[in-house]
Amino acid sequence: MRLTDLARRVGAAVDADAELELHGVATLARAGMTELSFFANRRYRDQLATTAAGAVALAPSDRHLFAGPKLIADNPYLAFARAAALLHPPSPMSPGVDSSAQVHASAQVAADARVEALAVIAADAVIGAGAVIGAGCYLGQGVVIGAGTQLAPRVTLLAGTRVGARCLIHPGAVLGADGFGLANDGGVWVKVPQLGRVVIGDDVEIGANTTIDRGALDDTVLGNGVKLDNQVQVAHGVRIGDHTAIAACVGISGSTVIGRHCVIAGGVGFVGHLEICDGVTVTGMSMVAQSITRPGVYSGIPAEEGRRWRRNIGRFHQLDELARRVTRLQRSPKDQPDE
């Protein structure tokens, strides 16, 4: 694609050779003359100076740092992401049901959907237009898959799970397993039936081996545009608001409500029955033990407002010296050194 056409499609401006033809994308260190790269972090300034990339996406304030053809955008990483999608489109999909797949007679599969080898689709399931069901997937009774959604191989969607349009679910994900609901009877655990569903909005991405449990009574719900990384655990009855992004190995306990446009970094844990307002960022390995009612950045164990946490950590590292000073001040006058 010509640089000028790419710029128009991604909403960027062109600087220099607008007729340059690009064939792909790559990092600054590895890009060649027919590839687009991007510069969004000053730590890579040395690589920008030596890159062989045919063109680079960068911010207006950085345009002077690269002499070659440029895509100028306020958010160069976003422009690069959109350009990468255009230069590396997905392989065309051939509709049809593989002969080794098992599709129940009552299931509805759109004529232009694809069901790959050894997939199992149970009674009353509905597969929308242009959807792809990967090899070895299992779709339980009454599962609904929206138009254009793609399930990678070996995804499991248990009975009643509903997935919206244009979603992407990576290998090994399990949606709709029972939540961890147990009542204690004199030291013996009694299982609580899990009667809710998992309901996924549109344009959601769910990472490999991520698990989303069905609700105990109410549904477990992910809003539109939610992005989950690999190995995230979403317990029964959790609700996650639109366009929230959650990194790997996060554990969300039951009935927690997370708002819209939140960012949860890797390894964060949530105590159950909390409410997290819109616009919250929680930094990696924090433990959220109480509800958060104000937008902002939160850190620590338990998590608290980020600025306060950093100040407290700084004071913690001063404890040894403070203890020594207190000890000196507590000495009796006869122990004090002469001045």
DSSP 125-142: -EE-TT-EE-TT-EE-TT
What pLDDT is recorded for position 315?
A: 87
pLDDT bucket at 322, cuts 50 / 70 / 90: confident
Tens of pLDDT, residue by residue over 280-313, are 999 999 999 999 999 999 998 888 888 888 888 8
User: Above 80 in pLDDT, residue 17?
Assistant: no
- Structural domains of the chain sorted by starting position, each given as residue range(s) with its CATH number in brackets: 3-87 (3.40.1390.10), 96-308 (2.160.10.10)
- At 312, give phi and psi (nearest 5°): -65, -40
CA 144 to chain centre: 22
pLDDT bucket at 335, cuts 50 / 70 / 90: low
Which stretches within 24-87 are classed as H helix? 45-50, 76-87
How far CA 326 is from CA of 78, 317, 320, in Å, comes to: 54, 16, 10
What pLDDT is recorded for position 334?
A: 59
* Catalytic site residue from 236, 261, 273, 317: 236
Nearest to 204 by CA among 155, 146, 257, 153: 146
**Spatial distance between the Cα atoms of 15 and 236, rounded to a whole number of angstroms:** 51
Q: Which amino acid is at 79?
A: A
Phi-psi region of 203 (alpha: psi -120 to 50; beta: other; left: phi over 0): left
Cβ contact 112:93 at 8 Å:
no
Nearest to 226 by CA among 166, 267, 268, 282: 166
**Assessment of whether the complete model's pTM goes beyond 0.75:** yes
Residue with tokens 């039951």: 254
What pLDDT is recorded for position 338?
A: 57
**39's tokens:** 């510069």
CA atoms within 13 A on the CB side of 17: 16
Tens of pLDDT, residue by residue over 122-136, are 999 999 999 999 999
User: Above 60 in pLDDT, residue 33?
Assistant: yes
User: Above 60 in pLDDT, residue 339?
Assistant: no
* 236 given a catalytic annotation: yes
What pLDDT is recorded for position 337?
A: 58
Cβ contact 44:117 at 8 Å:
no
What pLDDT is recorded for position 329?
A: 86
**144's tokens:** 């609904």
pLDDT bucket at 257, cuts 50 / 70 / 90: very high
Tens of pLDDT, residue by residue over 39-59, are 999 999 999 999 999 999 999
